[in-house]
Amino acid sequence: MLAIACGTKKNTFVSRNYQALTTKYNVLFNGQEALNAGIQEINTNYKDDWFQILPIEPIEFEEKRIDITEFGLGAGFDTKEDDAPKTLSTFDKAEEKAVKAIQVHKMNIDGSERNRQIDDAYLLLGKSRYYQQRFIPAIEAFNYVIANYPNANLIAETKIWRAKSNIRLDNEEFAIETLKLLLTVRDTLETNLPDETKENGYTTLAVAYIKSDSIQKAKESLLLATRTQKNKDQAARNLFILGQLFAEENKKDSAAMQFKKLINFNNAPERYKIRAEIELAKNAINDSMAAISFERIQKLIKNRDNRPYLDVLYYQKGALNEQKDSLQLAISDYNYSLRVPKGDEKQRTFTYEKLGNLHFKNSDYQYASAYFDSVLQISKDTLDLRIRRIKRKQKSLISLVQYENLVKENDSILQLTALTIDAQKAFFEKYIEKIKKDEAAAAQLRLNQLAFGNNNTSLASVNQGKWYFYNSKSTSFGANEFIKIWGNRKLEDDWRWAQKAKNATQEKEIKEVSQKNERYDLDYYVSKIPSDKVIIDSLYLDRNQALYELGLIYKEQFNNLKLAKERLERVASLQPAEDLILPINWHLYQLEIILQNPDKAAEYKNFITSKFPDTKFAQLLLNPDANIQGEVTENEVETKYKEVYYAYKESKYDEVISAIDVVLPTISNAELLPKFELLKAYAIGKSKDTENYKKALEFVFVNYGTTEEGKKAQAILTQLEKKSKE
């Protein structure tokens, strides 16, 4: 009788309240707990990229996932059982509970639902589907509530969730329209929405505006959403994103205002407050604000609770020191940031980049290359423009570092070859003595460390149990006893055989003795110094070529005129190969013109015109083209290059040469010049004699030696030289 009285078929006071009570505190309670657990798991696993504008909703959905439309109540209402058991996720469990509430506890009597908790069940059903990325079935559940329960308490929340689902399906215009009807029109009525619902609604509206690229309207919605701050996590996130949006527009005052609000927001999570302090320092508009931020960051560093954020705090402190031109302090702070254990990987790439840029500005290119290389090793995002820019810079630095190392190595060897035998022996005697002192100091340090370690381990091992390997003294004694009995044995099968022990010991002893003898053997070092004239000459040639390449790299790629001049002047004084004399003097002439040293430039000009009068360089110096035609656009130049290239393919070589001569003075893009010059050289090679072909290739090689075209020209010249000798 009690079961009949409380059933779902009778519209009585007892049955209505019983079904509502059972639905709410039994089925829906468990479903809501499963949903909350799933959301908590998403929030825990989600990792924000603080170097980009944060997404308003911290969740990642799979792109290009197929969402199959399901009708009626959708998945979960199919009563057919699968043979294979299925592991349910937290959102599957939430959906299952919502479905159970609807199926078991619905009271649809005379066309009306009498259980007031069924609309809550449909809302839970839609939310669980939303988080499963099944947006169309989710919208069906929300629409069912809106259509059948227009006066429900949760109708506004349901409309907001429907809008969120539509945004995920790229229907942001419809979402904006429905949200504006809910928020703007409803606000004008006497009955206003609860603050928490408004906050959620304006936050969702901001998501829709950002997706439709209406940033200004998104900021307005976020400002409205942050008026109440009922949801502390979302409110803190909204304030931070607002600050980021203002900062991106270079409105530093407005950005600072939002970050200060977030810092003063007592209930905000700590991670947002720390990041707000950092962003506030980045957006300091004057020295006094920067000084205040510097003091605040120092206090945050001293607070032990902020240890998880030390890498970003030290990084920002270093950036503030760099702004004050306190470069040594900045470098120290950046190194502290790198030494923080378990630091953020992307943060490390920015720190390495900062250190690389500082060394690059100071012309410490080898150190800069090492730091840029660390960035590339850590970063996995090969499509990032910043990483691609660093990769291009590192590519240039690799060649520079290789050439600098080659110059240093060859200089050292050549200095030794110039010494007498007695001087060479004296040099290496000092070197061997230094090795022995260093090894003795290292051995003493190791003994001290072992002694200190044994004292500690003997105390620490008292409470570590009685197992053999817990006692360091026992294991050390056992290892020594094993060596006394068995000797040094390899880890292999049948290790106890006497012959294997003998061979292994002998091989190891011979290897150790030979290595030690080589390190301390004076004759070994002296014998390594080359004495063959052919080898010494090759060292000279390689060193001079490397110096020339360094001069070009410093001049063309890094615009470091001082180092370019030093390298080229040095190679000019070292009797370089004949084919380098002209390009060296040409580049030195150009450098002196840029550095406004007319007297030195005149010396190089006279040298080129007197020693190489038949070259194109001499003609350019004697007859400079002062009447340069108006520049054409880059697109027109590219089109012209295609036309000339097709003419070359059709063997119209004279037409190609004349067309390139006409277009060259109009080109302002330095990257396109070597392409035209090399194509012109090819046309000359096809239509004229070998001597003219060599001169054209030489011009490309000398002027654009660091480009791909310059290297191709050099390779062709080398081949032509070999053929002429044969």
Give how far Cα 72 sits from Cα of 77, 110, 122, 450, Å: 9, 20, 12, 75
Instruction: For helices 310-323 and 327-339, give the axis angle rounded to 10 degrees.
Output: 170
Provide the sign of the torsion angle of the four alpha carbons 625, 628, 631, 637, taken in this order. Answer: negative
Q: What is the pLDDT of residue 71?
A: 40
Q: How far apart are CA 613 and CA 565, in angstroms?
A: 24
Query: Out of 204-218, 240-254, 616-630, which region has the weakest mean confidence (pLDDT)?
Result: 616-630
Check residue 444 and give its pLDDT.
Answer: 78
Stretch (H or E) spanning 606: helix 598-611
Amino acid at the residue 706: T
Half-sphere exposure of 339 (CA within 13 A, CB side): 7
Mean pLDDT of 525-547: 90
Encoded amino acid at 98, one letter: A
Residue 366 is predicted with a pLDDT of 87
Residue 481's SS3 state is helix
CA distance 192 to 189: 7
Q: Rounded to an integer, what is the distance from CA 296 to the centroid of its chain?
A: 28
The single residue listed with the structure tokens 């798991």 is: 41
Looking at residue 76, what is its pLDDT? 43
What pLDDT score does 706 carry? 74
Summarised one tens digit per residue, pLDDT across range 590-609 is: 999 999 999 999 999 999 88
Give the per-residue pLDDT at 239: 95
Q: Which residues contact 446 (CB under 8 A, 6 or more apart)?
A: none
CB under 8 Å to 283, separation ≥6 — which residues? 243, 247, 252, 255, 256, 259
Domain boundaries, the chain: 1-78+88-153, 423-528, 634-725
Render pLDDT for 659-671 as a digit per residue (tens, 0 to 9). 787 777 666 555 6
Q: Does this model's pTM top 0.85?
A: no
Q: In angstroms, rounded to a whole number, what is the distance separating the alpha carbons of residues 592 and 600?
A: 6
* pLDDT score of 569 more than 60: yes
Please tell me the least confidently modeled range out of 4-13, 232-241, 271-280, 319-328.
4-13
Cβ neighbours, 10 Å, residue 241:
22
Top-confidence residue, 171 or 15: 171
Confirm if 369 and 400 have CB atoms less than 8 A apart.
Answer: yes
The yes-or-no verdict on residue 73 having pLDDT over 50 is no
Band of the pLDDT at 686, cuts 50, 70, 90?
Answer: confident
**Confidence grade of residue 104 (pLDDT, cut at 50, 70, 90):** low
pLDDT recorded at residue 192: 75
- Rounded to 5°, the CA angle 195-196-200 comes to 115
- CA distance to 256, 498, 679, 686, 719, per residue, from 725 (Å): 73, 64, 26, 21, 10
- Asked whether the predicted pLDDT for residue 80 surpasses 60, the reply is no
Percent of the chain residues past pLDDT 70, beyond the cut: 77
What span, in angstroms and rounded, lies between the C-alpha atoms of 687 and 694? 13
The structure tokens listed for 117 are: 């908790």
Percent of the chain with pLDDT over 90: 33
Side chain identity at residue 231, one-letter code: N
Kindly tell me if the per-residue pLDDT of 98 is higher than 80. Answer: no
pLDDT surpasses 80 at 678 = yes
For the ranges 204-218, 409-423, 594-608, 674-688, the lowest mean pLDDT is seen at 674-688
How much is the average pLDDT of 334-354?
92
Angle at CA 81, nearest 5°, toward 79 and 85? 135
* Alpha carbon of residue 273 to chain centroid: 24
Nearest to 55 by CA among 240, 274, 260: 240
Using the CB atoms, write b or e for 485-520: b if 16+ within 10 Å. eeeeeeeeeeeeeeebbeebeeeeeeeeeeeeeeee
- Cα–Cα dist 253/274, whole Å: 19
> What average pLDDT does this structure show over 585-591?
91
Phi, psi of 18 (to 5 degrees): -65, -50
Are 503 and 494 spatial neighbours (Cβ–Cβ below 8 Å)? no
Tokens of 557: 């790629």
- Res. 115 pLDDT band, cuts 50 70 90: low
What is the CB neighbour count within 10 angstroms for residue 677? 23
- 150 vs 72: which has the higher pLDDT: 150
Average pLDDT over residues 371-399: 84
Cα 506 to chain centroid distance, Å, stands at 51
Distance (Å) of CA 284 to CA 43, 259, 265: 31, 11, 20
Q: What is the pLDDT of residue 612?
A: 86
Average pLDDT over residues 455-482: 53
Report the pLDDT value the prediction gives residue 74, as an integer from 0 to 100: 45
Please enumerate in sequence order all residues whose Cβ is within 8 A of that of 422, keeping only pairs 6 or more positions apart, or say none.
Answer: none
- Closest alpha carbon to 276 in 286, 294, 263, 291: 263
Least confident of 281-285, 471-475, 552-556: 471-475
Give the dihedral sign, CA 215/221/226/231: negative
- Candidates 203, 240, 208; CA nearest to 222 is 203
Mean pLDDT of the chain: 80
Select 634-725's CATH number: 1.10.8.640, 2.40.30.10, 1.25.40.10, 3.40.50.1370.
Answer: 1.25.40.10
Tens digit of each residue's pLDDT (9 = 90 or more) over 637-659: 677 777 888 788 888 888 888 77
| DSSP character at residue 82 | P
Q: Which of 374, 341, 368 is nearest to 355 (CA)?
A: 368
The answer to whether the beta carbons of residues 684 and 648 sit under 8 Å apart is no
Average pLDDT of the segment spanning 290-311: 93
At residue 473, the pLDDT reads: 53
pLDDT for res 666:
62
- The answer, yes or no, to whether residue 134 has pLDDT greater than 80, is yes
For the chain, what is the largest distance between any 2 Cα atoms, rounded to a whole number of angstroms? Answer: 123
CA-CA distance, 327 to 315, in Å (whole number)? Answer: 13
Q: What is the pLDDT of residue 68?
A: 45
Asked if pLDDT for residue 518 goes beyond 90, the answer is no
List, in sequence order, the alpha helices (H) in 132-194.
135-148, 155-168, 172-180, 186-187
Cα dist. 44→48, 58, 230 in Å? 11, 10, 21
* Enclosing H/E stretch for 112: strand 112-113
CB–CB of 131/38 below 8 Å? yes
Closest to 228 (Cα-Cα) out of 191, 208, 201: 201
643 and 674 in contact (C-beta within 8 Å)? no
284 pLDDT exceeds 90?
no
What is the predicted pLDDT for the residue at 214? 92
